[in-house]
Amino acid sequence: MEAMTDVLILGGTGWLSGRIARRWLDAGATVTCLARGERPAPEGAVLVRGDRDHAEAYSELARRDWDHVVDISSRAAHVAAAVATLGNRVARWTYVSSMSVYADDETVGADESAPRHPPAGPGDEYDYGAQKAAAEDAVTALGDRAFVVRPGLIVGDGDPSDRFGYWAAAFARAGAESVLLPPVGGRSAQVIDVDDLASFVVTATRGGAVNAIGDEYPLIDVLHAVRDAAGHTGDAVVAEEEWLVAHGVEYWAGPRSLPMWLPPEMTGFMTRSNRAFLASRGRLGSLTGTIERVVADERERGVDRERRAGLTRAEELALLADR
């Protein structure tokens, strides 16, 4: 009888890492999760409590060998410490990085060879892309045992960032009233469903680095698809770049933002190549199916709830009234 794959997930209780753990369990693996919070691991996984700010977090885990370690941390020091302690006990190590490691946000169709941000050093002010780059370097020191996955914008039901989900909520809450849109002419949207990403982490067999991202679509087409799924019947009011900036509306994410809106010079940020992903057993589900799940999830969680990204309805209405 073939032995089960023994997997350690450094995390395993969060939105993405929990789904990765679930996929491994469904594939017949034995799964251990290291986490410090109070959230449970998926049913069937072993949960080890540990704070990665402390070196002893790995002491119990370093007493045995592992077929596969998966890490998604955005703290380079955490990743480097894990590699230093566990690296000689692991057959394969997958690090979930980010396409935010890339320094070039202008080149359309750039692939994995694009230049990265300089890796963060000890004592540097925190920068997400630089931290991910330094963490990649720690993992790739393992040679052909290392695999680096670079997702773009991860979307799906339960998304804690509220970026893609904002549009489902905005259209659903407006009903027959107007919704404010950013400039859409020539803008693109490129996302990866959280379930497609989790499946890829489990099934990919290659090494090196891969951009894990979906196909590129015109942003207006994606917003229209969300609008249709949400049943919005009001006007979609497109605002000009300069007007939004002058009215204090932010790009991309965060409070008082229009999520997924990017500065015009960032032409490469959502137009990266996914050829290596598709050639490496990466599979993409229907974008329409993802949108339907997100709309249902936003309705269930509450379209008027406090969010990490986007405009409140009151902010949006005030902006629309000033048009």
> pLDDT truncated to tens, each residue of the chain (323 aa)?
346 799 999 999 999 999 999 999 999 999 999 998 888 999 999 999 999 999 889 989 999 999 999 999 999 999 999 999 999 999 999 999 999 999 999 999 999 999 999 999 988 999 999 999 999 999 999 999 999 999 999 999 999 999 999 999 999 999 999 999 999 999 999 999 999 999 999 999 999 999 999 999 999 999 999 999 999 999 999 999 999 999 999 999 999 999 999 999 999 999 999 999 999 989 999 999 999 999 999 999 999 999 999 999 999 999 999 98
Q: Shortest CA distance to 147 belongs to which of 112, 171, 179?
A: 112
pLDDT of res. 1: 33
Domains, in order of start, for the chain: 6-151 (3.40.50.720), 156-190+215-266+286-321 (3.90.25)
Distance CA 143, CA 75 (A): 21
**Going by C-beta distance under 8 Å and a sequence separation of 6 or more, which residues neighbour residue 56?**
50
pLDDT of res. 3: 62
Return the structure tokens found at 46. 């072993």
Contact 265, 106 (CB under 8 A): yes
Return the structure tokens found at 225. 């698809």
Burial 216-243 (b: 16+ CB within 10 A, else e): bbebbebbebbbebbebeeebeebeeee
Contact 195, 151 (CB under 8 A): no
pLDDT of res. 38: 82
Burial 293-321 (b: 16+ CB within 10 A, else e): bbbebbeeeebeeebbbbbebebbeebbe
Burial 253-265 (b: 16+ CB within 10 A, else e): beeebbbbbbeee
Q: How far is CA 8 from the centre of its chain?
A: 20
Single-letter amino acid code for the residue at 4: M
